């Protein structure tokens, strides 16, 4: 039994922070940020908006995309959701997990719900977990959400992270199906190296720092990243993982129509594509408009690229990510016929009504270019 993509949704908070705005109080410039990261702007949540707010909105949109709703649909056959997984680095609280609250807000009280913490690889780890639930018969339909409010853990004075990370949420609905049908998740390659856990970390706030009996300096409560070292490992590990997933799927590189990398940095994505032998026109990106949204980046990109036509039914797709831990992962699938739902706005119950975002997302409308015509 395979996990098959049945719906995809994306949610971004309305506030857009440009490079020029960051340059007004950081020692940087629009040109410096763009040349090193590919980012021109990013979305930030308003005060009082949390990860669960964004996750709930993205989950609602994914369920809508899949043709079902949440509340009141527990016995609606194919529309039923048996589990909710939230991949995040920024949970609402250290305890309990964010997923149960999200499930309840979606009208899914009683279903299995838990978080996955693998930083920027969280969506791939969550995908493997969801596929396992379906393969064992524990669930027939899973809602997987990647959601982040990185603005709550970034030091606004740290040029190395403040210009990169952003807020947003993306989600997919996975249903039980056959391995041969479009949307079926292929073999998933996952890996980690805890010996390099200090490359990406928040040193304070966890059991290790609390058990030390000493107060942590203020900067240790913020997200920290050793960028140069991360770049090298990200390129090497992501390339190897993508190649492993291709090999296990029995695909050749020239059969890949679209490469969907975690939106960490445009230079990383380009370097991985070059090592794999993929032409740049097959590499999808939206980092210029949304920044690095960690566990949310892949589902956000899937939704945006489906809406603007860069990702079409029948495309052979490789997903790949690298994150803290260190962690990495990749998988393959043939993109199914789904209608993506994406919005930009204030979460329901937090502020004003939302605004539908097809024109606001800012994703570029590029001509389709692939090795095979799309269905």
pLDDT digits over 243-254, tens only?
999 999 999 999
Catalytic positions: 120, 262, 292
Class of domain 2-177: alpha beta
pTM: 0.91
Question: Which of 112-139 are b and which e, b meaning 16 or more Cβ less than 10 Å from the residue's Cβ?
Answer: bbbbbbbbbbbbbbbbbbbbebbeeeeb
Q: Outline which parts of the chain fall under CATH 3.40.47.10.
A: 2-177, 189-286+297-336
Q: Per-residue pLDDT tens for 215-228?
A: 999 999 999 999 99
Please provide the average confidence, as pLDDT, over all residues in the chain: 91
Section 191-217 average pLDDT: 95
Give 189-286+297-336's CATH code, choosing from 3.50.50.60, 3.40.50.150, 3.40.47.10, 3.30.300.130.
3.40.47.10
Question: Which residues share a beta bridge with 85?
Answer: 114, 144
Continuous H helices in the chain: 19-23, 30-37, 51-65, 99-105, 122-135, 159-162, 207-211, 227-249, 266-276, 287-290, 297-308
Q: How far is it, in rounded angstroms, from Cα 20 to Cα 40?
A: 9
Instruction: Please say whether the beta carbons of 13 and 344 come within 8 A.
Output: yes
Give the tokens for residue 250.
């029995």
Report the DSSP pairing between strands 112-116 and 83-87.
Answer: parallel
Q: Which residues contact 172 (CB under 8 A, 6 or more apart)?
A: 5, 6, 7, 8, 9, 62, 143, 144, 299, 302
For 91, counting Cβ atoms within 10 Å of its Cβ (0-12 exposed, 13-18 middle, 19+ buried), the class is: buried
Question: What digits encode the pLDDT tens for the residues 106-142?
Answer: 999 999 999 999 999 999 999 999 999 999 999 999 9
Residues 6+ apart with CB under 8 A from 83: 111, 112, 113, 130, 133, 138, 139, 141, 142, 143
d(CA 149, CA 262): 16
- How many residues belong to the chain? 375
Q: Residue 347 and residue 54: Cα distance in Å, rounded?
A: 7
What the block records as the tokens of 11 is 């949610």
Do the Cβ atoms of 11 and 62 come closer than 8 Å?
A: no
Residue 87: the pLDDT is 98
Alpha-carbon span 343 to 327, nearest angstrom = 30
- The Cα 82–Cα 86 span in angstroms is 14
pLDDT-derived band at 348 (thresholds 50, 70, 90) equals confident
């Amino acid at each position: 039994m395979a996990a098959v993509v049945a719906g995809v949704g994306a949610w971004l908070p309305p506030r857009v922070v440009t490079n020029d705005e960051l340059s007004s109080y950081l020692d940087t410039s629009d040109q410096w940020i763009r040349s090193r990261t590919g980012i021109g702007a990013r979305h930030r949540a308003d005060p009082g908006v949390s990860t669960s707010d964004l996750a709930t909105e993205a989950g609602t949109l994914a369920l809508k995309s899949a043709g079902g709703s949440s509340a009141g649909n527990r016995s609606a056959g194919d529309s039923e959701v048996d589990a909710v997984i939230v991949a995040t680095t920024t949970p609402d609280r250290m305890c309990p997990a964010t997923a149960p609250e999200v499930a309840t807000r979606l009208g899914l009280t009683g279903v299995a719900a838990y978080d996955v913490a693998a930083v920027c690889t969280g969506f791939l780890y969550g995908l493997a977990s969801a596929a396992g639930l379906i393969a064992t018969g524990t669930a027939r339909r899973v809602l997987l959400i990647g959601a982040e409010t990185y603005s709550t853990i970034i030091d606004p004075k740290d040029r190395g992270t403040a210009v990169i990370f952003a807020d947003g949420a993306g989600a997919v609905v996975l249903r039980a199906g056959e391995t041969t049908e479009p949307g079926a998740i292929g073999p998933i390659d996952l890996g980690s190296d805890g010996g390099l856990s200090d490359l990406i970390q928040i040193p304070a706030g966890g059991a290790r720092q609390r058990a030390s009996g000493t107060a942590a300096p203020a900067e240790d409560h913020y997200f920290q990243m050793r960028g140069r070292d991360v770049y090298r490992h990200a390129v090497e590990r992501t390339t190897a993982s993508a190649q492993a997933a291709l090999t296990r799927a029995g695909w050749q590189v020239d059969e890949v129509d679209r490469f969907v990398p975690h939106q960490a940095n445009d230079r990383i994505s380009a370097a991985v594509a070059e090592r794999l032998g993929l032409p740049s026109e097959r590499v999808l990106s939206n980092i210029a408009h949304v920044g690095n949204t960690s566990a949310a980046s892949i589902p956000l990109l899937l939704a945006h690229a489906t809406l603007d036509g860069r990702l079409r039914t029948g495309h052979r797709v490789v997903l790949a990510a690298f994150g803290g831990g260190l962690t990495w992962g990749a998988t393959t699938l043939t993109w199914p016929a789904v209608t993506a739902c994406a919005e930009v706005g204030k979460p329901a119950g937090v502020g004003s009504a939302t605004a539908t975002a097809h024109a606001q997302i800012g994703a570029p409308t590029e001509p389709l270019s692939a090795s095979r015509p799309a269905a």
